[in-house]
């Protein structure tokens, strides 16, 4: 069975968290919107009347007749199917909790450059973005990274993974967040990584995994740009 991943074609966005899991698993999948007329296919999907559980917005994953929306829910599903989640219920729930917290961080990162709403251009809300980014840069990045550092330090199975003693989708997602923040807030993120060595090491561990390394070097990995969640506006980096 080949998965179908529906997400916007020109950005990494929230779909990238799913792609990293699919790539690490070596799963067969199609980036639907990157095919010819793929974006129209994505948009037309929302007009279908035969979908019992329609997704609110991309990304969503189609596996046969099953359609799953929301990044965290997709990863929960893929984690169980591809060995990217712990086997015991308590640990699976813990990985899911970490993923939901990562989703909070992703939303805050987006709102740092679009605090008034996505319907306005950055230039239309630049004064508000400067203020919002200052708080995010000076307080929130550190707070989140300190939490991840604490999780790693308290992991009874070792401090190289967030959950248990093996790679999980939570590790992949934290890697993606770090990469995004290094693009958007390079000065601040490098400084915070210097103070959270376990988090920095986890980033290196994920980047060195063979399938992830191959994916990062391929043209399947869309470059960060100023249309996605993580955007680099130098004035926001302090």
Residues 46 and 129 in one domain: no
The answer to whether position 109 is within a domain reads: yes
Question: Tell me, what CATH number does 18's domain have?
Answer: 3.40.30.10
The answer to whether position 70 is within a domain reads: yes
How many structural domains is the chain composed of? 2
Provide DSSP, 209-221: SHHHHHHHTSTTS
Residues 133 and 163 in one domain: yes
| pLDDT band, residue 52 (cuts 50/70/90) | confident
The answer to whether position 225 is within a domain reads: no
Residues 74 and 174 in one domain: no
**53 pLDDT more than 90:** no
> Model-level pTM?
0.95
The answer to whether position 98 is within a domain reads: yes
Other C-beta atoms within 10 Å of 97: how many?
13
pLDDT at 42: 85
Average of per-residue pLDDT across 115-128: 94
Residues 130 and 77 in one domain: no
Residues 77 and 102 in one domain: no
Could you report the per-residue pLDDT of 209-238, keeping only the tens digit for each? 999 999 999 999 999 999 999 999 999 998
| pLDDT band, residue 51 (cuts 50/70/90) | confident
The answer to whether position 175 is within a domain reads: yes
The answer to whether position 231 is within a domain reads: no
Could you report the per-residue pLDDT of 24-36, keeping only the tens digit for each? 999 999 999 888 8
Residues 124 and 167 in one domain: yes
Residues 136 and 192 in one domain: yes
Residues 136 and 195 in one domain: yes
Could you report the per-residue pLDDT of 62-75, keeping only the tens digit for each? 999 899 999 999 99
Domain that residue 63 falls in: 3-81
């Amino acid at each position: 069975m080949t998965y179908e991943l529906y997400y916007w074609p020109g950005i990494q966005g929230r779909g990238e968290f799913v792609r990293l899991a699919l790539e690490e698993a070596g799963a067969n999948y199609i980036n639907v919107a990157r095919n010819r007329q793929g974006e129209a296919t994505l948009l037309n999907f929302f007009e279908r009347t035969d979908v019992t559980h329609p997704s609110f917005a991309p990304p969503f994953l189609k596996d046969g007749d099953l359609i799953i929306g929301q990044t965290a829910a997709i990863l929960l599903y893929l984690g169980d199917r591809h060995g990217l989640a712990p086997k015991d219920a308590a640990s699976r729930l813990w990985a899911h909790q970490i993923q939901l917290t990562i989703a909070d961080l992703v939303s805050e990162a987006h709102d740092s450059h679009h605090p008034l709403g996505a319907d306005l251009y950055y230039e239309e809300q630049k004064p508000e973005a400067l203020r919002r980014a200052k708080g995010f840069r000076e307080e929130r990045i550190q707070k989140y990274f300190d939490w991840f550092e604490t999780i790693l330090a308290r992991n009874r199975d070792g401090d190289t993974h967030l959950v248990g003693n093996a790679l999980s989708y939570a590790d992949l997602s934290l890697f993606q967040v770090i990469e995004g923040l290094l693009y958007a807030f390079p000065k601040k993120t490098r400084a915070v990584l210097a103070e959270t060595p376990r988090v920095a090491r986890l980033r290196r561990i994920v980047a060195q995994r063979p399938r992830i390394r191959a994916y990062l070097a391929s043209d399947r990995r869309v470059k960060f740009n100023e249309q996605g969640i993580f955007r680099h506006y130098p004035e926001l980096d302090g």
